[in-house]
Amino acid sequence: MRIATRGSVLARWQAERVAQLLGDDAELVIVETTGDRSPLPIHAMGGTGVFVREVQTAVLDGRADIAVHSAKDLPSTTTPGLTIGAVPERADVRDALVGRALADIPEGGRVATGAVRRRVQLAHVRPDLQFFELRGNIGTRLDKAADFDAIVVAYAALDRLNRTDAAAEILDFVPQVGQGALAIECREDDAFTHERLARIDNPELHEALTTERAFLARVAEHDAADGARGCDLPCGAHRIGSELTMFLGTPDGAVTQRATITRVGSESATEFGSRAAAEFLTRWDATLASKGTS
């Protein structure tokens, strides 16, 4: 099985984990992505997709059979010619502070994170904090922790690399869509590979990811209608069972909104995510209007 993946330690771990689940010998096809090459903040490069496009291309042009991604890196819409064949497992979805716990960060403390969503949720709780960009693989990020009062990373990354000892505090934030989940793509017309991936798919996790991605797609639509990009509006979502918890915030963290909506009847995972997002966005627009914020 030829597995396309980024070359970071964490990405290789994920690819090798999928090979283990499949019970196959695997050949890793290492791909460098736009996100790996550019020093710019992720949101400045166009947000989601910058760590997956070249990996997806390796599958589309036949250099690889499957692509293994951190599901949170995927755009909200599926790339033409590809399909998510399996979502086999999901780790802890929470964020972690490395360096100091939130209460121990001094007034005006320096916190580094590459995610607008994390920054906004922290700013809402601690508006005094100063925020700085954080880029690089998990090892590089941990090495930079000493330069700040704290950094924020995905707890799943620490767990997969046996570095949970570095976590000073686990944060009760709404996670990024797909955070902690592995997503495996294959060519849409590759029935053989799709059948093999189906054997390791977790239907409940796959459905949860589908719902979260439908939420993100609806938010991106709404944001684009206002002349912005989906990645510019800090948001998160996490489905557990029949409930979807969602988050939106203004870039400065001054206004945030969090709510949980329950699935209705027999609506599909996509229908649930889209409906929940529409209801949530209606409340969000009303909240902004009441505060005189556009």
- In tens, the pLDDT along 100-139 reads 999 999 999 999 998 999 999 999 999 999 999 997 788 8
Give catalytic residues, as residue numbers. Answer: 72-73, 117-118, 135, 141, 231
> How many angstroms separate the most distant Cα atoms in the chain?
58
pLDDT score recorded for residue 292 = 79
d(CA 239, CA 211): 7
* Domains, in order of start, for the chain: 2-89+181-201 (3.40.190.10), 95-171 (3.40.190.10), 208-290 (3.30.160.40)
- The CA-atom distances, in angstroms, between 140 and each of 47, 134, 190 are 20, 9, 37
Residues, the chain: 294
pTM for the structure as a whole: 0.91
Which whole-number Å values give the CA distances from 17 to 10, 53, 71, in the listed order?
10, 21, 15
Task: Give the torsion through C-alpha atoms of 244, 196, 13, 231, to 10 deg.
Answer: -40
Q: How many CB atoms lie within 10 A of CB 162?
A: 7
- Amino acid 92: pLDDT: 97
Predicted pLDDT of residue 139 = 86
Q: Is 15 exposed, middle or buried (0-12, 13-18, 19+ CB in 10 A)?
A: buried
Q: Could you count the other beta carbons within 10 Å of the beta carbon of residue 55?
A: 24
* Cross-strand pairs, 66: 3, 186
CA atoms within 13 A on the CB side of 161: 18
What are the residue ranges in the chain where pLDDT is below 50?
A: 37-41, 44-45, 227-231
